[in-house]
Amino acid sequence: MSSNNESIGKTLSVVVALCLVCAIIVSFASVQLRPLQQANKNKDIQSNILAAAGIDKVENVLETFDAKIEARVVNMTTGEFVDTDPTIFDFEKSKYDAALSVSLQEKGVKDIAGIQRVTKESPVYISKKEDGSVDAIILPIQGYGLWGLMYGFISLESDAETVKSIIFYKHNETPGLGGEIQNPQWTATWEGKELPIQIVKGTAGNDEHKIDGLSGATLTSNGVDHAVDFWTGENGFGPFLAKVRKGALK
């Protein structure tokens, strides 16, 4: 009986020791890989910003981004530029930090995009032409679709009124239905449209403010509609866009 107990005890000791060793290895690997993971995340976001600006097929994302894009941070209430470093700004995490964001409910603002909170500051990205003039203004947007938050960028021409492109880089929408928000054929229909935008069922025709909705994905279409409406409106980047229209970037 004693021998059996000793055998079980040794087995449990080996199992516990093995679990501890594995936990230490996994934790160490996680810490060591975190900078690489963050770098890859930043590179992916920069690639999408470049694509939203109409700059694709890039060999060196970092070099092209630094050469073509000016990243700034704006105060969402005043629309003024602030001195916050845009390279350390995490748009997704910041809104969950009570010190960096505000509850839309507390502000008495209707949460049409389903985002609950909005950051007090946000990065914006300005694409420049060869002569240094503004080519496009890229704004980060997010909104709730059918299954969760959709993250993307909307790019506006220098007049801050005309849509250049729209890109969604992260979402949980159904492939073949709501997932079509990433379909180039659909996103291409946004080019040249004027704010404010309305996504409609059926055919938008030549209406400069309307976009055809996604077939079989009404809730996703509504989510995109509400996200664009919120972020280009007075409770989003509206104050900043108003300053741009008055020549703030010239």
Rounded to an integer, what distance in angstroms lies between the CA atom of residue 110 and that of residue 182?
27
Tokens matching residue 44: 């992916």
- Hey, is 196 helix, strand or coil? coil
pLDDT value at residue 179: 96
Q: Answer yes or no: is 150 within a domain.
A: yes
Domain count, the chain: 1
Residue 43 lies in a domain: no
Counting runs of H as helices and runs of E as strands, what totals does the chain give? 7, 10
In a domain, 110, yes or no: yes
Judge whether 46 lies within some domain: no
Q: Give domain status of residue 218, yes or no.
A: yes
pTM, 2 dp: 0.85
How does strand 210-212 pair with strand 198-200? Answer: parallel
Per-residue pLDDT at 193: 97
pLDDT at 31: 62
DSSP letters of 204-241? -TT-TTEEEPPTT-HHHHHHHHHHHHHHTSTTTTHHHH
pLDDT tens for 23-74 read 777 666 666 656 566 667 778 899 999 999 999 888 899 999 999 999 999 9
In a domain, 42, yes or no: no
Reported as a single tens digit per residue, the pLDDT across 127-136 is: 999 888 999 9
Instruction: Please confirm whether the linkage preceding 196 is cis (ω < 30° from 0).
Output: yes
Backbone angles phi, psi at 128, to 5 degrees: -110, 150
Q: Tell me which residues of the chain have a pLDDT lower than 50.
A: none
The HSE-up count of residue 220 (CA atoms within 13 Å, CB side) is: 22
Give the CA angle between residues 96, 98, 104 to the nearest 5°: 80
Boundaries of domain holding 226: 68-244
Cα 24 to Cα 17, 82, 121, 161, distances in angstroms: 11, 42, 38, 53
In a domain, 5, yes or no: no
Task: Report if residue 249 sits inside a domain.
Answer: no
